[in-house]
Amino acid sequence: MKVFAKRNAVPLGVLAAVLAVISVVYTAQGAPPPDYQSLQADKEALQRQLAAVAPTMLVQAGQLAPAPPARPQATGWDTEESIRGGLKVYATYDSSGPDAWDVRASPLVYFTSEGVGSSGSTTGSAQIALAGGKQQSGVHVIDAYAKKVIASALYDIGDRTNLTQSPHGVGISPDGKWLYVGEEYRARAVLLVINARTLKLHKVLEGPRRQRFHHIIAFKDSRGRDRVILGMGAGANGGPHFVLDPNNDQKVVKTISIEDIGYKIGHPYVTVDPTGTFIYISVVAPPWRGQLHNTGGIAKYNLETGAVTIIPYVGDHPIGMAHTADGRFTYVNDAHSSYVYKIDNSTNTVVDNTTAGVPGPYGLALNWDETLIYPVGKGEGSHNKGSVLGVVDAKTFSPARVLHNMPIYLGGSASSVDHAILHPDPKVNEMWISNMNGWETIVLDLKTHKVVNYIPTPNGGDTHSGGFVRYQPDWTGELQTDMGGPKRAMSETMRKMAGASAPPAAAQAAAPAAAPAATGGDLVAQGKVIFEKTAGGVGCQFCHGMDGRGNLNMGGPDIRGETEARIRGALRDVGLMSKITLTDAEIAAVVAYLKVLSAQP
């Protein structure tokens, strides 16, 4: 397996010496020396396109997994859920090595993928030249403030001639240690797991079918555990999806398939609510879509219990989703009708819809105070060459007129733009847009709604989604946001800026009236309902988790076994809870249920 890596500030004059070293490395490993004429062409291509940036070619030995047996058998990596979903190890590697960039100089970075599957920039492309005319998939790292590429890498697992799809995104673990890139070959779909510090391959996983690992997001679940979701499939043919534990050798903790959902899974654009409890998954009904409207929906999957709630009538081809920071609403793009739908998460119903203002909306994002919604006009399901961004007013839920001419034309190489990622610094106030058929990351100023920067890919390839990570000098990292939306730190800021400190009075009024006084088992049952569903219109679990152990994303502490006095004090003194009204009987019921939770292992 070869990794083609590139870093800034490496003099091109060193290239000849590097090539000589490579020759020795190849010979020592028993492989034939590279073609120097081809390498010279590589050098010239790099000089033309990359100026002061030079390649460093690394040879990385990997251990292929043994051929699979006729029937699946458990290995040291396999879990019951990986076997059920058909995910397995394809190869493993030593990902140790030097740092890919100076983290002290660039602590806040943006990761995005790079490929040439759709890009029109192939003539003289350094990516094509480096690969000897073959496609290469990879990632690159951009300094979030300087807006310059500071590191990149291209990967070859030895099957380039059979590559049919280059990456449709890059996933990032919550601690910023791992990157995830999916590829599709004629015979298999693979997931590259990359060490973010060295940009070297760590592991390659193989999926159960050829369709690619499409969208990958990360989150912390309701218990504060790091999780990564692999969304598999394409178009309206999604699943199975896999939930990984990035801190336990990337093992599968949950497979989500049609057997779990009960409906056909649609586009693999999954998101997770701010509490880390619910996964939102597109579901579709293809046989009816040709004749009827609103045949699609969202499956709201409870990670704690496995329960599924179907939210119907969400267009016909639900794709991009975005959640408000307080968790009250979810917005969903319908690529078929080019509409945006608004879901009330307390009732699990669609409460409004409006035109996206762009054809075939794909990705979806909110601004800092959540007053504006940005559907990305990819042209999904039509021309698929969109270069515009729509804007929807979240208050009136109608298209906004932020410029004289709408929608927002992105210019540059914009073509088939797909995802919009909010920069994690509100003072910067930018949206970074990936470009599936172009060769730039596009930076939009959200104050002027004008493009302020085009950041070219290092090898002339295209981009798909991305995410921002903030690192400390010791490489301790925290994912700020990805295509699944902002994470804890950003969500807290957005919630404050949006003024969403508590559900409105209307939501509280919708809560059921208090039940008559109860005792024993009835009291616990009543407390369970209040805790999980009705308190404040969303239940105590919204901030404290379904098991009462707390929710780091929402800042809610562990409240198992709390006393009546403590609960009354919180209702009186905690700002978020001061809007919640509970009767004496309801408080007694919650106390009884919290006592039961405290006895759980």
Whole-angstrom distance, CA of residue 26 vs CA of residue 595 = 66
Distances (CA, A) of 390 to 162, 169, 398, 403, 433: 37, 21, 11, 11, 13
How does pLDDT run across 546-575, given as a tens digit for each residue? 888 987 666 788 899 998 888 888 887 776
Contact indicator for 467, 421 with CB cutoff of 8 Å? yes
Q: Map out the domains of the chain with their CATH numbers.
A: 2-59 (no CATH), 80-496 (2.130.10.10), 505-598 (1.10.760.10)
Name the least confident of 63-77, 345-359, 377-391, 455-469.
Answer: 63-77
Q: Tell me if 18 sits within 8 A of 58, measured CB to CB.
A: no
How many residues are there in the chain?
601
Q: How far apart (Å, rounded) are the C-alpha atoms in residues 143 and 460?
A: 18
Q: Is the dihedral of CA 362, 493, 532, 256 positive or negative?
A: positive
Q: Which of 424, 471, 419, 426 is nearest to 441 (CA)?
A: 419
| Whole-number pLDDT of residue 514 | 38
pLDDT score for 381: 83
Query: If 0-12 CB within 10 Å is exposed, 13-18 middle and 19+ buried, where does residue 75 land?
Result: middle
The identity of residue 103, as a single letter, is V
φ, ψ for residue 484 (rounded to 5)?
-80, -5
Return the SS3 of 43: helix
pTM of the full structure: 0.74
541-560 in b/e form (b: 16+ CB < 10 A) is: bbbbbbebbbbbbbebeebb
- Provide the percentage of residues in the chain whose pLDDT is more than 90: 57
Quick: pLDDT tens for 275-291: 999 999 999 987 777 77
Task: List the beta bridge partners of residue 170.
Answer: 181
SS3 call for 184: strand
Q: How many other C-beta atoms lie within 10 A of the C-beta of residue 73?
A: 9
Hey, which residues does 379 pair with through a beta bridge?
none
Residue 397, strand partner residues: none
Largest CA distance in the chain: 87
Quote the strand ranges of 324-471, DSSP E.
329-334, 339-344, 349-355, 361-366, 372-377, 388-389, 392-393, 398-399, 408-409, 417-422, 430-435, 440-445, 450-456, 467-471
d(CA 480, CA 486): 6
- Between 18-32, 307-321, 337-351, the lowest mean confidence (pLDDT) is in 18-32
User: What integer is the mean pLDDT of 171-200?
Assistant: 93
Q: Which residue has the tokens 């000849």?
A: 16
DSSP string for residues in 387-408: -EE--EETTTTEE---SSSSSE
Residue pointed to by tokens 């003289």: 124
- Does residue 156 sit in helix, strand or coil? strand
Q: What is the per-residue pLDDT across 249-306, written as a single tens digit (0 to 9) for each?
A: 999 999 999 999 999 999 999 999 999 999 999 999 877 777 788 899 999 999 999 9
Higher confidence at residue 501 or residue 481? Answer: 481
Compute the half-sphere exposure of residue 77: CA atoms within 13 Å on the CB side of its CA.
20
Which tokens is 79 given?
């879990």
